[in-house]
Chains A and B, each alone.
Chain A
Amino acid sequence: MRSPGEDKSDRRRRLGASSLIVVGVVGAASLAQAQEEIDPYALSPEQLFGATVVSASRSEENLWDAPAAIYVITSADIERSGATSIPEALRLAPGVQVARAQNSGWAVSVRGFNNSLANKLLVLIDGREAYDPLFSGVYWDIQDTALEDIDRIEVIRGPGASLWGANAVNGVINIITKRSSETQGWMASAITGTHERAVLTARYGGALGDSAHWRAYGRYVDRPDHNTLQGADSNGDWQSWRGGFRIDAEPNANDTFTLQGEAYHSDSGQLRGVPSLSAPYLSIQRDDISAHGGNVLGRWGRALANGGQVTTQFYVDFTAREQLALKDKRTTADLDVQYEFPDSATHDLIVGARYRYTADDITPTAIITAMDNSHSESLVSAFVQDRITLAPDAWYLTLGSKFDDNEYTGFEMQPNIRLQWIDGERQTAWASVSRAVRTPSELERELVVSAGVIPPALIPVPVSVELRPSPGFESEELVAYEIGYRRQLTPDLQLDLTAFRNDYDGLATLSLTPFELVLSPLHVILPIAYTNQTEAQTHGVEAVMTWRASDTLNLSATYSFLDVELHGPSADFAINSEGAEDTSPRNQANIRAQWDVSDAVSADMTLYYVDALPAFDIGSTTRLDMRVGWRLTEALQLDLVGQGLLDDGRREFGAAADINATEIERSVYARLTWRTP
């Protein structure tokens, strides 16, 4: 084993050699660049070691032959897109609907049913579930890890992977951070601009002995509110901080360990209508949203002598949220064990089992109360997946299923069958049929939500509309049919096409139940129950084209079409009623250019098109983002970014009459990044 001292001198020697060589090859390089194509086989090892890498990450290559609709956003994509938060970066992926509803609130969905509480999507951060079991949705304001630490974001459209956890109905967003060995030394970045008052990140990584690395980071974010249509400009001001660490160790050839953790706090705000049984029946109040939490995760991978691999993961997550409507504290513990059998000629078999325990503690508010203030539930699940080689280098069949046992609906089976054809590593086609369910959340089974009070008029007493716990509410069910085709047209031109049809049954609806009369204070309750009365069909197409036009210019384009047809009750207040068809855009597209102008300067341009959302009376929008990056020295990089440059601002989600309706304004910022060379 080498000591840290040896390591350093080795590195110094290598860097010293490379920089000497760079001087030597300048002539050859400019000659080669003039000819556009550089023949790597004509270069000396010194030249090759000194060369700068211009291509995308290798994770992308690995996913090339995945029989699923998958899109990878690399760390370079994130940096170059100018995104300063995870949901903003997700705009790059096809088939994903991203709309910023408020300064700290995003509606994000895959293949439709978009909503700020979108509940058919699984978001994982390094294997930890980021959705809140209270309503099966994601609070994006607390998923704000340092973008500089992210290695890649894998966006999987469709329920396909029987490997993923609960809630992976319409898609999975898998956020993977870098290994500690890739984040050694110092990194500090500062962002400031019109809508980023300050985003400050600092990170340091070091080695622990011979075979382990660590990093620790801290981040502070201060974002002034965008312009709300109601004129109250500062309710959405958003401040948050976050700190965390990660340790990766490979003590021997067979074991890998990861231990990571973080803590965070976020303060933001909005307006909130609070109903009451006496005049004025509804008061608009400033709503301070305060959230904090933390988590610790450990993972152990072990390669067995027989060629198999066991991965064990355990995490504990604590999260607390306080706002006018909701006060909830939650602790989750999750143990996951997975075993990959040794490869055989015809089978690639993986099995896994998982146990999740989650408990929350609700403090009743004027709006949300629970049947039991303390609630806990266990989830037991298992999966098995086998990739069978039908004909080597040609036909593969993947069979898998996930089996869940949950508290509300008991046993659920989510099977998946996939057939794939691979032709000479240059093209692949696949088709799949899968079933997935969205199991009831606490919202539907445990909570009483006061939706509003109708002042006395025709009925001479106040009428309180209440969402009631609905023991009869069952899982929403999806059967998905997908086909995909990927082709490397030339070494530099790649095409990826997907088409799908989703059949949903038993989607959530709201139904009136018999009214109740309460004497003190005198009022009528109009109880509403969750039912499963909507059927839906969606279908769509997603296309991605990437073209490495030259060594210094990458172009890509994506297009997504989505058609949603809901068949359910027509009542206006029904969620998933036909009026909800238009909350996701029919057409979306983006075009992206990444240009390395010179060694020191890079420039990017991304044009996003999002079709109209008639449900909210929002017209189609075209958004232009630009970035110019300038490497000032080996260690220092300056970026100037403009977002939404074509107009002053646009409402992206929600009705104009909504008290928190927000116009997301043009944003311009500067980012300075310092890395120890």
Chain B
Amino acid sequence: MANAVIRATLFLLAFAMATWSPAHAQSGLRLAEQDIKAGLLYSFLRYTDWPNPNQAAPVRVCMFGRDSFDGRLQPLAGRTVNQRAIEVTIVRAPAETDACALLFVSTADEARWPELRAHLAGHDVMTVGDFGGFAASGGMIEFVRAENRIGVNINVEAVRSGRLAVQDRLLRLGSAVRTAATRP
């Protein structure tokens, strides 16, 4: 009986807590991980200058291998950046990536990255990866999950070798990473 009373009290207490929201709680934005990343891809387009842009052609955002955004990147296709329309496509072979302004590589395709990197060397394609070690292995921007927020590691060296100019506003928000030495 005494136990039952204690249990009932505990639960009343629990629900009292559930319904009372402390005044100091931050009411920040809450978004699905994919939406945050999708939004950031759009930011990357907006705050980066590509060399010799072709104003007549659309800006191509490519996902490698699959739609790891579950369709949540599609609305980007209706938007513009620098008066150019954005196109969202899935590419499946390294050769198809040449025409991309931005290439997103999900963690499922981590194994393909070395091949893609080799193919893209010297191209002005912004590479964005979703797996650990992406930036250190020569990728430009790597999404990282820090507790319940999304951050980025940026390999400035890789960005420069693609002749892209990423604005300070973005660089400030990311962590700088350099390409790790590869063993011979």
Contacts and interface: CB of A to CB of B under 8 A. Distances in A.
Interface of A: 1-2, 6-7, 10-11, 13-14, 17-18, 22, 25-26, 29-30, 32-33, 38-41, 43-55, 58, 61-62, 64-65, 179, 181-182, 194, 210-211, 250-256, 303, 305, 307, 309, 340, 342-343, 345, 392, 425-426, 488, 491, 548, 551-552, 596-601, 603, 626, 628, 630, 640, 642, 666, 668, 670, 675, 677
B40 A14 contact: no
B11 A52 contact: no
B106 A62 contact: yes
B31 A30 contact: no
8 contacts: A2-B175, A14-B174, A26-B26, A33-B27, A49-B151, A343-B111, A488-B71, A551-B31
B21 A551 contact: no
Contact of A601 (B21, B35, B114, B181): B21
Given A1-B180, A58-B130, A307 B114 contact: yes
Nearest to B131: A58
Contact of B149 (A44, A51, A58): A51
B35 A38 contact: yes
A657 B145 CA distance: 52
A628 B35 contact: no
Nearest to A56: B33
Contact of A53 (B38, B47, B149): B149
Contacts of A17: 172-173
A393 B42 CA distance: 26
A43 B39 contact: yes
A249 to B, nearest CB: 10
Contacts of A392: 92
Contacts of B22: 600
Per DSSP, chain A at the interface is mixed
Contacts of A488: 70-71
A640 B149 contact: no
Interface string B90-102: 1011000000000
Given A49-B151, A49-B173, A53-B149, A596 B30 contact: yes
Given A2-B176, A668-B10, A307 B115 contact: yes
B34 interface: yes
Contacts of A251: 180, 183
A426 B137 CA distance: 32
A433 to B, nearest CB: 26
A120 to B, nearest CB: 30
A490 to B, nearest CB: 10
B7 A668 contact: yes
Interface string B43-87: 100010000000000000000001110111001100100000000
Interface string B129-163: 01011001110000001111111100000000000
A44 B39 CA distance: 8
B112 A52 contact: no
A599 B26 contact: yes
B2 interface: no
A51 B28 contact: yes
A668 B27 CA distance: 30
